[in-house]
């Protein structure tokens, strides 16, 4: 696992956008896994800016969803499909045909989960998966004590996660769904390059447990330690509880440019 400490969220977004641009340069039709929430917005803004300026050609990129609420109609403004279309697909000038996501409104949710897992594999697998992290260490919606081998499935949200997400629903927790479809931890680990972005002091403890703690289902993100090419990008605030922060700074400063992110 590589840990990169950046000054702030904007710098983190630019760094990851550069990695995506480099990937698209090598593989124009790369399958990019995207996360929702406020944390990845600097990445999407930086990538859209690069596309608009001609610095990167994203016209053949494919986009896939990490998770989706169960029960919200596809057109609901806070369905993750709507969020991805609004924040990623439209700014990059892509059409909906470039987009893959699970059907949170399906009559048979379990079948929809299995179908999405198959679709990702049939698409050749996810080349780069962007991740956020919850204050309890969850990735996707794999809450604490999720199986580290789990596949795409339905999960029940913890009360803390629903409280955290209420800000997207006019601070009304009663509007936040209780269930989601999420890529499992095993599904996430199938991606060729998972990149976790964390910003703010509120994520510092989860980051420390993920990076420096044991691999344990109580901190789902710690499973990234098992991946051969996982990257954790954190701002100074989110890095504030890392015991090896100075080491991470030194190793990144000495990294050859040709290695990329």
The residues assigned a catalytic role are 67, 136, 138, 143
DSSP H helices, the chain, are: 9-26, 41-53, 80-84, 109-122, 159-165, 185-189, 204-212, 245-253
| Structural contact between residues 39 and 238, judged by C-beta atoms closer than 8 angstroms | no
3-class state of residue 206 by DSSP: helix
d(CA 201, CA 181) in angstroms, rounded, equals 28
| Structural contact between residues 15 and 4, judged by C-beta atoms closer than 8 angstroms | yes
3-class state of residue 35 by DSSP: coil
Beta strands in 39-193 (DSSP E): 62-65, 67-69, 99-100, 128-131, 153-156, 179-182
């Amino acid at each position: 696992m590589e840990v990169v400490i950046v000054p702030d969220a904007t710098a983190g977004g630019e760094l990851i956008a550069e990695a995506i641009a480099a990937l698209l340069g090598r593989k124009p039709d790369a399958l990019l896994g995207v996360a929702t929430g406020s944390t990845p917005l600097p990445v999407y803004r930086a990538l859209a800016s690069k596309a608009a300026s001609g610095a990167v050609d994203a016209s053949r990129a494919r986009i896939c969803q990490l998770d989706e609420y169960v029960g919200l109609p596809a057109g609901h403004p806070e369905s993750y499909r709507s969020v991805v279309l609004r924040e990623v697909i439209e700014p990059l000038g892509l059409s909906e045909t470039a987009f893959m996501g699970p059907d949170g409104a399906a009559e048979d949710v379990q079948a929809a989960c299995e179908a999405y897992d198959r679709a990702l594999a049939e698409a050749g697998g996810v080349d780069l998966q962007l991740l956020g992290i919850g204050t309890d260490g969850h990735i996707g919606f794999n809450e604490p004590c999720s199986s580290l081998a789990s596949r795409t499935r339905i999960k029940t949200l913890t009360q803390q996660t629903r409280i955290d997400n209420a800000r997207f629903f006019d601070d009304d927790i009663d509007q936040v769904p209780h269930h989601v479809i999420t890529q499992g931890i095993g599904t996430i680990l199938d991606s060729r390059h998972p990149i976790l972005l964390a910003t703010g002091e509120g994520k510092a403890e989860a980051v420390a447990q993920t990076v420096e703690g044991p691999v344990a289902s109580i901190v789902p993100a710690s499973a990234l330690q098992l991946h051969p090419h996982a990257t954790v990008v954190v701002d100074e605030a989110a890095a504030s509880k890392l015991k090896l922060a100075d080491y991470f700074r030194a190793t990144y400063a000495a990294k050859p440019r040709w290695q990329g992110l």
